[in-house]
Amino acid sequence: MSSNKDISGLTLEELRAYFENIGEPGFRAEQAYLWLFKRGELDFERWTDFPRALRDRLSELFGPRRLDLYGRLKSKDGTEKLVFKLHDGVIIETVLIPTGERATVCLSSQAGCKFRCVFCASGLDGFKHDLTAGEIVGQVLAVRGATGLIPTNIVVMGMGEPLDNFYNLEKALRILNDRRGLGLAARRMTVSTAGHIPGIERFAKLGLQVNLSLSLHAVTEKLRSDLMPINRKYPLKDLLAACERFVQGGGRKMTCEYILIRGVNDSAADAEGLAEISKKLWAKVNLISYSPVLGLSYQTPTRGEVEAFKRRLETRGIPVTLRRSQGADILAACGQLAGRV
């Protein structure tokens, strides 16, 4: 227990065991969950129904908080990027996307990324480390603390490959899902993978109805390996077979994310290939127009080119959402999170 100094990374059962171990009644765990998740109160000093000695003890063991808000930027479209400094000085980024009734938080799962997709900023400075469950859940609490908005949806699409940090991801999802805490419905949470086959297989057995989204971005082995080196380890053919098993096994729907890069993956043949794959997986397609990354020379397609690609999919009966990648002006859009100050 003492190695995990982040209270928001503990399941209610772990917290109960902690309190019982120090001679406190187990119900303190429910009280703590109320303060943390229902009231969003991270300062133990304000946990007024806890005896003073216990508050001091909690501060000693679990404080100071490990996620320091280091900076924040607000886009003209309302999207907000929050930059956090971890206990070891490493920077991670979290994005809040408010749309109508929804407040979607895009979480990072790793500091940096080892998969180095060529269009993405997150891998540019290499991989630092996995985030703990507390650092993943902590982003949700910190966003709420900073903005006052209670997150309604979670997407794990920020820095890192979530399925490469499975243990912490799973724990974080279970904590966020716990009705005694934040109680985020599993169907309001989406995990995105670049194509980590063993992770998809474990994810299928999770027993939680969390959505899975595949960052596809290319429909041939050659182009996908060029754009996303993970494809050399887990080729498209095997990846699609794993996704088919996922869909058939659990009856869960998938989404294919496709970042449209001008002159790279936006041809008629690409649209054809994408339609084929989506049909096979019963998946809808999220089209995202590429957002520029400093130091990379890829180009954003014009609105007309994006529309034409979308129409090609729709005429083949594929449900398509055109996701105008939000927050591009503050480098908070898909593929732009670099973890730099």
Distance separating alpha carbons of residues 66 and 135, to the nearest angstrom: 8
Q: 188: helix, coil or strand?
A: helix
How far apart, in Å, do the first and last CA atoms of the chain sit?
Answer: 32
**Stretch of 26-34, 158-166, 171-179, 306-314 lying at the interface with ligand SF4 (CB under 6 A):** 158-166
Q: Does 264 interact with ligand SF4 (rule: CB under 6 A)?
A: no
As measured in angstroms, the least distance from the Cβ of 256 to ligand SF4 is 14
Those residues with Cβ within 8 angstroms of residue 317's Cβ, 6 or more apart along the chain or in another chain? 275, 279
Report whether 169 contacts 204 (CB < 8 A).
no
Nearer to ligand SF4 by Cβ, of 75 and 193: the residue is: 193
Q: Could you give the angle at which helices 268-281 and 303-314 cross, rounded to 10 degrees?
A: 50
Q: Does 123 interact with ligand SF4 (rule: CB under 6 A)?
A: yes
Those residues with Cβ within 8 angstroms of residue 206's Cβ, 6 or more apart along the chain or in another chain? 170, 173
Distance separating alpha carbons of residues 15 and 69, to the nearest angstrom: 25
Considering only residues 32, 103, 107, 159, which one is a binding residue for ligand SF4 as defined by CB under 6 A? Answer: 159
Which residue type does 229 have? P
Report whether 213 contacts 242 (CB < 8 A).
no
As measured in angstroms, the least distance from the Cβ of 216 to ligand SF4 is 11
As measured in angstroms, the least distance from the Cβ of 106 to ligand SF4 is 11
Indicate which residues carry an active-site annotation.
Answer: 93, 334
Strand ranges for 137-196 from DSSP E:
153-156, 189-193
As measured in angstroms, the least distance from the Cβ of 127 to ligand SF4 is 9
**Stretch of 21-29, 112-120, 299-307, 311-319 lying at the interface with ligand SF4 (CB under 6 A):** 112-120
Q: Does 160 interact with ligand SF4 (rule: CB under 6 A)?
A: yes
As measured in angstroms, the least distance from the Cβ of 244 to ligand SF4 is 21
**Stretch of 99-107, 117-125, 236-244, 276-284 lying at the interface with ligand SF4 (CB under 6 A):** 117-125
Q: Does 162 interact with ligand SF4 (rule: CB under 6 A)?
A: no
Nearer to ligand SF4 by Cβ, of 50 and 290: the residue is: 290
Distance separating alpha carbons of residues 275 and 278, to the nearest angstrom: 5
Strand ranges for 40-188 from DSSP E:
68-74, 80-85, 91-99, 102-106, 110-112, 127-130, 153-156
As measured in angstroms, the least distance from the Cβ of 61 to ligand SF4 is 33
**Stretch of 9-17, 28-36, 159-167, 287-295 lying at the interface with ligand SF4 (CB under 6 A):** 159-167
Q: Does 194 interact with ligand SF4 (rule: CB under 6 A)?
A: yes
Q: Which residue bears the tokens 């294919």?
A: 256
Which residue type does 68 have? D
Nearer to ligand SF4 by Cβ, of 177 and 190: the residue is: 190
Considering only residues 82, 117, 184, 227, which one is a binding residue for ligand SF4 as defined by CB under 6 A? Answer: 117
Nearer to ligand SF4 by Cβ, of 18 and 115: the residue is: 115
Q: Residue 109: phi, psi to the nearest 5?
A: -115, -15
As measured in angstroms, the least distance from the Cβ of 114 to ligand SF4 is 8
Q: Does 129 interact with ligand SF4 (rule: CB under 6 A)?
A: no
- C-alpha to C-alpha distances, 4 to 19, 54, 294, nearest whole angstrom: 15, 18, 36
Q: Does 113 interact with ligand SF4 (rule: CB under 6 A)?
A: yes
List the one residue out of 122, 113, 157 whose CA is nearest residue 294: 122
Residues within the interface to ligand SF4 (CB under 6 A): 113, 115-117, 120, 122-123, 159-161, 194, 215, 335
